[in-house]
Structure 1
Amino acid sequence: MSRNLATLIGFSAILQWSSIVGLLKKISASIGADLAVTLMYSFSACILLLLFGIPKLKQIPKSYLIFAAVLFVIYELCFSYAIALSQTPQQAIEVSLVNYLWPSLTIVMLIIFKEIKFNGFVVAGLAISLLGIVLTQTGNHSMSWATLSDNIQTNPTSYLLAFLGASLWSLYCVMTKKYSQGHNPIALFFVAITLVLWTKLFFTHDFTAIPHFDLSTCLYILLVSCVTALGYAAWNVGIIQGNITILVTLSYFSPIFSTLISMLILQTRLSSEFWQGAILVTIGSFICWISTNWQAIKVKLYGFFKIS
């Protein structure tokens, strides 16, 4: 496989994951949050097991396996329920942008764990990302804490879950980088979250009132399961055989990709202020990424201008 093709496959993972918000919201509106989330992860787990098989547990550090599994399961629960419990299509997109604070928060976690040195760019990037979130919440109203609070109070559970999920995912990324030793037990993690969800469903769901599954709902369930699982497979191909620098750079534009795809799937119109907020979240994340590569960027810029 050529490097360009592998990079293109890796980029498809970003687009696939960007479609999850819209697809999951479609399903949850039809059959309810609990059933939608449970079925999505159940089918995704089956696909991942077929693709990757059962990981060799003896080769994976036990402390990492347990801690990472707990973080992954809680994060996925936070993210999926934040979307599924949103009250409107636009709110689902708003909530998803809160989740996209995770790239900036990952840099903060790397500093906390002393993996990288503090850089002023991190503060600037995080501030710009947060400003973007505020702008998406206030829209064309006055940008004030009162307006922000009123909007969040319409559904505090979803917004809290999204922010908690972003924080946990940033911690998961740092833990994986430090302690995974290159192992990728993602299929096992999906099996774990599937077991948790079915256990929860068994004790809390009224199975005498099973919703009607029409053809479109079934297709959406299959589609969201495929993009969730195949996204991981495509990403692995991309980062192993493709141009990882290009893929990492493109991944920081995920808030814009996700907003655009979700808007099309949910057939929702978004204000110019909302798009400005999404762009600010992206810029903030990108600035945080630059902060971790500033020395290398300076060297490349110096070489470029020297040659010129």
Structure 2
Amino acid sequence: MSSLRATLLGSIAVLLWALLALFTTLSGGLPPFQLSAISFALGAAIGLPSLIRQRARLKGLPLRVWLLGVGGIFGYHFFYFTALANAPAAEASLVAYLWPLFIVLFSALLPGEKLRAGHMVGALIAFGGAAMLIARTGFDIAPEYWLGFGAAALCALIWSGYSVASRAVGAVPSIIIAAYCAISALLALASHLLWETTVWPQTTQAWLALLALGLGPVGLAFYVWDIGVKRGNIQLLGVLAYAAPVLSTLVLVLAGLAPATPVLLGAAALIAFGALVAARA
């Protein structure tokens, strides 16, 4: 597969993640770990037939491969929910959304990759756009929120580390994502049973949103992202990832669930310009 095609496939993940907030909102306010357990199970189901057919290719994989995949997918979500529970959502989200910038930085450690000034400048410009959007209501860094900020920082490090380190296990077929999701579903279920009260969707719309969430942003997105970071332009994917919060807000606006503001336009312009700078690099 060519680098361009892999990059285009990886960028589909960004488009799918733009639907995350919409489907989560419409799913009826399920507890986070319960929502994750169901979504991960659906994500695993997408690749289950292919996983069974290719199971011979996955035999004998070293433990580090499983720790990388499950640690990346489940670990990110575990600390993200911890961050939201212990810090204001806007601030925690902004810290967690350092992961695209870290991807650009960490990519310099990969064999055959070269970090150019344009990659860094583009990533910083795009981060400025995301910061403008996420922190538009202010920024509170009170000491009582440091646990949440610490968890959010771990989110950023875990997902960027997982994304970049996936290049080192590029020979492992991307269908392994189905197994990662299945194990993550079990871990999320255990977390739910330990800390949450079960709540079920009350409407058909909520059930459909839950199904779409598991098949798209928490399902297919992981598969195409794996292809992109293993075989595509990882620096450009890192910068393009900053489009997700802007597109997510735009989707909510179009769905009538959020107001349109000038900040959205400014953030989109910065992210688009940052992506252009990175692409030219």
SS state of the match for residue 48, structure 2? helix
Specify which of 140, 150, 162 is matched with residue 149 of structure 1. Answer: 140
Output the CA distance in 2 between the equivalents of 1:59 and 1:66: 14
Output the CA distance in 2 between the equivalents of 1:134 and 1:7: 25
Output the CA distance in 2 between the equivalents of 1:26 and 1:85: 24
Residue matched to 1:216: 205
- Confirm or deny that 1:189 pairs with 2:186: no
Residue matched to 1:135: 132
Report the more deviating stretch, 164-173 or 261-270: 261-270
Change (3 A) 1:19 1:178: same
Output the CA distance in 1 between the equivalents of 2:180 and 2:77: 10
Output the CA distance in 2 between the equivalents of 1:128 and 1:86: 25
Residue matched to 2:193: 202
Aligned amino acid, residue 162 of structure 2: Y
SS state of the match for residue 149, structure 1? coil
Aligned amino acid, residue 33 of structure 1: P
On the 8 A contact 2:129/2:271 being kept in 1, the answer is yes
Residue matched to 2:170: 180
- Confirm or deny that 1:284 pairs with 2:274: yes
Residue matched to 2:32: 33
Change (3 A) 1:160 1:270: farther
Output the CA distance in 1 between the equivalents of 2:207 and 2:144: 30
How many residues align structurally?
270
Change (3 A) 1:202 1:238: closer
**Offset, 1:14:** 4.4
Identity across matched positions, percent: 19
- Confirm or deny that 1:108 pairs with 2:81: no
Aligned amino acid, residue 196 of structure 1: L
TM-score under structure 2 length normalisation: 0.72
**Mind listing any 5+ residue stretches in structure 2 that lack a counterpart?**
none
Residue matched to 1:24: 24
Report the more deviating stretch, 174-183 or 12-21: 12-21
Residue matched to 2:159: 169
Aligned amino acid, residue 193 of structure 2: F
Aligned amino acid, residue 104 of structure 1: L
TM-score under structure 1 length normalisation: 0.66
Residue matched to 2:214: 225
What do residues 13-50 of structure 1 show as CA deviations (whole Å, max 9, x unaligned)? Answer: 543332122212332x5333232222222222223323
Bigger radius of gyration among the two:
1
SS state of the match for residue 30, structure 1? coil
- Confirm or deny that 1:43 pairs with 2:45: no
On the 8 A contact 1:263/1:269 being kept in 2, the answer is yes
Root mean square deviation, CA, Å: 4.3
